[in-house]
Amino acid sequence: MDLFLSDLNEDQEGKFLKKRRRKRMTMDLFERQMDISSDKDSLEQFLYQVTGEFPRIHSKEYIQKQLRSLREGESVERIANRMILDALENISGEEPDWTFVASRIYLCLLYREAAHHRSYPLEQRYGSFYELIQTLTEQGVYSSLLLDAYSKEEIESLGNLIDPERDHLFTYAGLRTLADRYLARNHNGELFELPQERFLVIAMTLMSEEKREHRMLWVKEAYWALSNLYMTVATPTLSNAGKAIGQLSSCFIDTVDDSLRGIYDSNTDVATLSKGGGGLGVYLGKIRARGSDIKGYKGISSGVLPWMKQLNNTAVSVDQLGQRKGSIAVYLDIWHKDILSFLDAKLNNGDERLRTHDIFTGVCIPDRFMEAVEKREDWYLFDPHEVRRVMGWSLEDFYDEEKGNGSFREKYEACVQHPEIDKVCMPAIEIMKRIMISQLETGTPYMFYRDEVNRMNPNKHAGMIYSSNLCTEIMQNMSPTTVIEERTEDGKIVITKQPGDFVVCNLSSINLGKAVPEGVLHRLIPVQVRMLDNVIDLNTIEVPQAQMTNQKYRGIGLGTFGWHHLLAKQKIQWESEEAVRYADELYSEIAFLTIQASMELAREKGAYPLFQESEWQSGTYFERRGYQSQEWKELAQEVQKYGMRNGWLMAVAPNGSTSVIAGSTASVDPVFAKEFSEEKKNYKIPVTAPDLSPETVWYYKSAYDIDQQWTLKQAAARQTHLDQSQSLNLYVRHDIKARDLLDLHLSAWKLRLKTTYYMRSTSSEYVDCDSCSS
């Protein structure tokens, strides 16, 4: 532990204090100006100080404009907002640092607002941390957890960790996003919490149940990781940690049983989780097809589409804490008889009664289908209920254990040959055409390659993976929850259910563009894994089977963002073998450190309950991935000896919002452009690619100009080291030829990717996933 909790040495501390005093002088100037809002001398001095920190910007004209615009009696807020807007207008590829000028000015408005509402002197910037917790707990904004878990002396001591200088790491877009969506306000909407306090509250919350002798040190480490923007936590954790309302997990995955009770119970569970801020992935593959029989009466079933409509209505009507409408993705197997209407469900033309515009779709694809597409063979569609009734087993419960050989294709061929099973035959390529048409128009369906997913599942001894989550990066065991018995007892109705595996996504992400160049992965990842593991124990999930699944597998998803940012800083071209090799090397290192951290946690706290007979325990996990070095062999032996704390470890989420806060690029995506605008509800913020300079500009090629085959090669190198998957967007132009789009899908499958996410076309607009933006 000492390795991760070491303090600054004397030389480092001296440099740090000098830098801190220099920046303190700048803040003092602005604080004085805030009290003398029309004093031109103070304003001029302040502006020269702030802009002088950024030698690449030309500030003289900007400063003169602010001085000319000054009016006697003008409010501080009006002056500051004008300065911010004018700074933002100056942001360009040549002068990107204007974003930091705007951020510094906006910071002072936040300091001013918090000081006013909390009644402390403005020159302090940050008020009493203990009083903040006490006040917001009394007002019902914070839960009582912090005051119950920590003494007043501990809280005051932790308050001394707050370093206001780290507020200067934010771009304007990052700071504005954090302030608008995540900082705690009272019930009247008045700002109380400041950025470093949000980070410290998260650190205290997630480390609150650590052993007392080490707890303060772990809080310190978590605050170090968060406040330096080396990592981000998932959106629900960032928003809700320490608060009285909301849960900490990003999203959930349910498997719907083929019964009326199962369907409606699942919809209730979806609504319950959506109201708490969770996104949902829902597998519909067990539901009988349109025209199937019900209780022996043929042609009665209305199929999957009505239940999709029901989920669509839930997504719209049950919003997430008033912040945004619910987010739901539904998945269906490519052999299901309803697949064609499913693929049309998000299109803008056709029968509106069969459209579900507010949810997202994903297709579960076995190897056998992709082979049929490539060879231009026929493909057969079945009703899963009829298969169960006639064959005595469920087709969706099988996968090919080896590439080109396995139980799914055997069962599929048995269904094709069976005379009593009604089937629809059509060319596989025609179904693929329907997929590609929908993708170019709507961005979906997502592609879920079910055989590869299940082959690489380290916990296949305990279950099956049918589909993924809202953002296609989570791969964990699933099963439906069913009602066993319902009876009356002592005047009450008692319902007994067999709980299924209801997946919970617990996410956070490494900021590659900052953590890797500064060489902190060895210190960062153990802290991050511990924080994620603690989310499992701290979370109170209202759906019992989800809570039980969370505890049973203790699955987490440590991910990354800032990949393009990192490549640019390392001067590596996206379309190069060097980038592919770097992805392989870097994610191998991240995987090693993450597995090691979970093993160390298991040594300290115990392994997850289903560790025995898993591929972690047998060593097969390491063999499958070709980890043959002595270092890896020693780690595999330690895992066998001490266990793993977490059944699943790594998943790369989209990171839309949190990458903006951290001032980096999203997930493993390339940038849209070197200069663009972040669109918010009522305004746009000019943004440039991070750390844009004459040295990095050549490495920021637009996503739509990049050969996506190189993106797939990088993803394949990365996928080797991820036990789950990655939210992998593909960027194409609207006039892409059908054969080129098909080649991308065939390449993704042949490279053994588990999933692809949105097909982002220049002609389409998309809604990003907020729930998984860790």
Catalytic site positions:
469, 471, 473
Q: Match 């924080």 to its residue by tokens.
A: 531
**β 251-255/279-283 pair status:** parallel
Q: Phi-psi region for residue 706, left (φ > 0), alpha (ψ -120 to 50) or beta? A: beta
- What whole-number distance in Å separates Cα of residue 263 and Cα of residue 255? 9
Instruction: Give the list of residues 6+ apart from residue 424 with CB closer than 8 angstroms, or none.
Output: 337, 380, 381
SS3 letters for 158-182? HHCCCCHHHHHHCCHHHHHHHHHHC
- What whole-number distance in Å separates Cα of residue 611 and Cα of residue 356? 40
- Neighbouring CB atoms inside 10 A of 342's CB total 28
Could you tell me if 276 and 247 are in contact, meaning their C-beta atoms sit under 8 angstroms apart?
yes
For residue 127, give the DSSP letter: -
- What whole-number distance in Å separates Cα of residue 333 and Cα of residue 314? 23
Partners of 558 in the β-ladder = 508, 650
Could you tell me if 220 and 117 are in contact, meaning their C-beta atoms sit under 8 angstroms apart?
no
Six-digit token string for 209 = 């149940």
**β 360-365/446-449 pair status:** parallel
Burial class (CB in 10 A: 0-12, 13-18, 19+), 353: exposed
| Residue type present at position 765 | E
- What whole-number distance in Å separates Cα of residue 668 and Cα of residue 662? 15
Give alpha helix (H) positions in 505-571: 512-515, 521-538, 544-553, 563-569
Give alpha helix (H) positions in 70-159: 76-89, 98-118, 129-138, 145-149, 152-159
Q: Match 């933002």 to its residue by tokens.
A: 88
For residue 452, give the DSSP letter: H
Could you tell me if 502 and 555 are in contact, meaning their C-beta atoms sit under 8 angstroms apart?
no
- What whole-number distance in Å separates Cα of residue 347 and Cα of residue 713? 31
H helix and E strand count, the chain:
31, 18
Burial class (CB in 10 A: 0-12, 13-18, 19+), 349: exposed
Question: Could you give phi then psi for residue 372, rounded to 5 degrees?
Answer: -65, -35
- The closest alpha carbon to 175, from 767, 678, 622, belongs to 678
| Residue type present at position 180 | D
Q: How far is CA 518 from CA 413, 523, 561, 697, in A?
A: 55, 11, 15, 21
Sign of the alpha-carbon torsion through 90, 91, 93, 94: positive
Q: Match 């049950």 to its residue by tokens.
A: 318
- What whole-number distance in Å separates Cα of residue 769 and Cα of residue 659? 13
